[in-house]
């Protein structure tokens, strides 16, 4: 039961080494048979404070320094915005003591993310998710003894836009503003044909499918130096356990770095960044 709306993990994965295909254009890059989405333009995000960074290394260091904390702020805002829209936190709707759950929530938040960033901020979009089993409960299928004929299926879909419209100082030592979009879908279907015993090998089928697209447009400053950044990422995966086949494909853009005139000064290729998790 993956939850693509957890932005903290998504942005980390988007930067942490899935640069299997390096593309030359930030807007709708093509590679590997599908395209990465185009990030918002530099004009759409506020200007940074201070002078422009001195080189590519300084730019990359500035970009990666804020990702984890900034993503955590977005995620915290999302959790509260979800509750405000629905009356419950998302994890409260994922009741695995029952054989199924399902929900669909539209989010049009103008207050909860603002409380986390301290500046005008919004979250807009929708989230849907469902899971079901023919076992007595989802817990029984997921964690207890498997039985012949057990089935399980789940799906979720997330389409959200986070916009921090002013420079937020909630990332210690930095001021950050920008727009992050997340568009993901996932499905999983499983069936246990024969449960494993001391004398019988387990037989089952499983089919999975997932897509994820992330765009990041940020304005970042450490008080003296700053820059604007654009980056986008997409991945698609399919799997069939019975056939022992799986496909995973990724495409990402280069990291484009601009000054306050919105002119791209640097284009950093083959991003591979280790984030402190």
Domain boundaries, the chain: 7-79+125-268
Instruction: Name the band, by pLDDT with cuts 50, 70 and 90, for residue 10.
Output: low
Which residues have a Cβ under 8 Å from the Cβ of 50 and sit 6 or more positions away? Answer: 221, 222, 223, 224, 225, 226
Instruction: Name the band, by pLDDT with cuts 50, 70 and 90, for residue 68.
Output: confident
Instruction: Name the band, by pLDDT with cuts 50, 70 and 90, for residue 15.
Output: low
- 45-55 pLDDT, tens digit per residue, is 999 999 999 99
Helix (H) or strand (E) holding 182: strand 175-194
Task: Write down the pTM of the prediction.
Answer: 0.86
Instruction: Name the band, by pLDDT with cuts 50, 70 and 90, for residue 245.
Output: low
Helix (H) or strand (E) holding 36: none
Instruction: Name the band, by pLDDT with cuts 50, 70 and 90, for residue 176.
Output: very high
Q: Report the pLDDT value the prediction gives residue 198, as an integer from 0 to 100.
A: 58
Mean pLDDT of 192-209: 72
| CA atoms of 172 and 224, how far apart (whole Å) | 14
């Amino acid at each position: 039961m993956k939850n693509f709306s957890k932005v903290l993990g998504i942005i980390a994965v988007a930067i942490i080494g899935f640069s299997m295909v390096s593309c030359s254009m930030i807007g709708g890059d093509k590679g590997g048979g599908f395209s990465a989405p185009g990030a918002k333009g530099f004009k759409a995000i506020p200007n940074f404070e201070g002078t422009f960074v001195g080189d590519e290394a300084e730019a990359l260091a500035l970009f990666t320094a804020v990702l984890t904390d900034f993503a955590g702020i977005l995620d915290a805002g999302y959790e509260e915005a979800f509750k405000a829209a629905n009356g419950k936190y998302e994890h409260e709707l994922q009741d695995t003591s029952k054989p199924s759950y399902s929900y669909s929530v539209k989010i049009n938040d103008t207050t909860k993310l603002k409380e986390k960033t301290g500046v005008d901020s919004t979250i807009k979009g929708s989230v849907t998710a469902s899971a079901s089993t023919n076992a007595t409960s989802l817990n029984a299928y997921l964690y207890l003894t498997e039985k012949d004929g057990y089935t399980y299926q789940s799906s979720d879909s997330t389409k959200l836009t986070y916009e921090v419209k002013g420079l937020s100082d909630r990332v210690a030592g930095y001021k950050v503003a920008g727009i992050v979009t997340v568009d993901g879908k996932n499905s999983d279907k499983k069936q246990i044909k024969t449960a494993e015993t001391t004398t019988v090998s387990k037989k089952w089928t499983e089919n999975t499918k997932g897509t994820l697209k992330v765009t990041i447009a940020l304005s970042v400053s450490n008080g003296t130096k700053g820059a604007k950044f654009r980056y986008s990422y997409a991945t698609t995966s399919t799997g069939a356990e019975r056939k022992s086949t799986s496909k995973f494909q990724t495409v990402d853009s280069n990291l484009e770095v601009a000054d306050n005139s919105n002119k791209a000064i640097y284009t950093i290729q083959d991003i591979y960044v280790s984030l402190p998790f």
